[in-house]
Amino acid sequence: MTTWLNATGGLRYHVRAWRYRASLWAPFRRAIAAWLVEWSPPERELLLVGPSGGYCVDLGFARRFDAVTAVEIDPVARWILRRRARAALRGARTKLAMDSRDYLSPRDGRFELEGVRALCDRYPRAAVLFCNVLGQLPLLGPEPTEESVLPEREGTFEWWLRALPAALGDRSWASFHDRLSGSVRPRVALPTAPVAWRSSEALVEELYPQTDRDDEVLNDHRTSELAAPLVRSAFVWELVPSVFHLVEAVSVRADAPAVAADGRR
Ligand SMILES: C[S@@+](CC[C@H](N)C(=O)[O-])C[C@H]1O[C@@H](n2cnc3c(N)ncnc32)[C@H](O)[C@@H]1O
C-alpha cells in the first residue's frame, strides 16, 4: 500500500480534516491541547509519531521544545505539517525535522519491538507523543482471530502494546488513541479527571446508552492493553457527523513517577 493512501490516514483523512478541523473537531482539539499542557514533559526534544498534518495536535505546544521531529509515513501529511508548523513556530527557536521511516508497522503479520528500539536509539533524549496512531495500527496487521489478539502471544498487536511502555525506557511518553468508535455518542463530560483502566465491556456499559438496535455497532480499536496500570483521560471526537470516537489518553513524565490507578507512584 502506498503511504499516502494508507489505511491509517491518507487522502480521505486530509479532506476530512480540512472540512471539519475548525468546526466538528474543535472541542476535541481544545481538549487535547489542554491535556498536552498538563503533560508538558521536561525533555528539550519531542517526537510526534503519526501527527498527520497536525490537525488535532496544537502545534503551538511544540514551541517549548528545542527540536521536534515528526515521524510520519505519509508524504502528503509531512508536506501539510511542515507548512502548518512553519506558521505555528514562527519566532520560536524550535527546529522541526521529518522522519519518514516506519518504526511501527507489523512485518509479515507480526508486531515486533525492533522498530520502537530503533526509534529510541535514534532519538535517545526525546519525549515521545503518539498522536492518535496506536488505534490505527491493527488495521495493518492480520485479521483478528481468537489467537491473533492474545496479549500473551508474542507478535500480536496486544502483546506489542503491552510491551511498548518498557521498550520506551525512562523517557517521557504519551499517547492519545482510539478505544471505541461508532454512531453513538459516549457520555464523556469535559474536562475529564483521569480515571482507572476499564475493559471495553465496562466502557460500553458505563459510557454508552444501552440499545438493542442492530445498526448501532461499536468498533473496538484494540488499544485496551496499553499501560493498563496507569490512569487515563477520555475524550470524544466526532470524526464526521454522527461518527464518534472514544479517545483515551495516557501520559508519563520522566521526572515524575507515573500515577497508577490505585494511587500508587
Ligand atoms: C488518524 S491519523 C492521526 C491524526 C493526527 N494525529 C491529527 O492530528 O490529525 C494517523 C496517522 O498515523 C500515520 N501513521 C500510520 N502508520 C504510521 C507509522 N508506522 N509511523 C508513523 N506514522 C504512521 C498516518 O499516516 C496518519 O497520518
- Residue 176's pLDDT band (boundaries 50, 70, 90)? very high
Our count of domains for the chain comes to 1
Query: pLDDT digits over 44-97, tens only?
Result: 999 999 999 999 999 999 999 999 999 999 999 999 999 999 999 999 999 999
CA of 211 to the centre of ligand 1 (A): 32
Quick check: helix, strand or coil at residue 40?
A: coil
Residue 178 within a domain: yes
The residue contributing the CA closest to ligand 1 atom 14 is 50
Which residue has better confidence, 1 or 51? Answer: 51
- Residue 1's pLDDT band (boundaries 50, 70, 90)? very low
Give residue 264's pLDDT. 60
In CATH, what number is assigned to the domain containing residue 102? 3.40.50.150
CB 51 near ligand 1, within 6 Å: yes
CB 173 near ligand 1, within 6 Å: no
Residue 167 within a domain: yes
**pTM for the whole structure:** 0.94
CA of 71 to the centre of ligand 1 (A): 9
Q: Which domain, by its residues, includes 21?
A: 3-252
Residue 258 within a domain: no
* Average pLDDT value for residue range 14-25: 96
Pocket test of ligand 1: the residue of 1, 2, 8, 116 to mutate, having most ligand atoms within 8 Å of its CB, is 8
The mean pLDDT value of the chain amounts to 92
Residue 260 within a domain: no
CB 9 near ligand 1, within 6 Å: yes
Residue 171 within a domain: yes
Q: Residue 70 contacts by C-beta under 8 Å, 6 or more apart in sequence?
A: 47, 48, 51, 54, 78, 81, 85, 96, 97, 98, 99
DSSP annotation of 55 reads S
Residue 263 within a domain: no
Q: Residue 262 contacts by C-beta under 8 Å, 6 or more apart in sequence?
A: 196
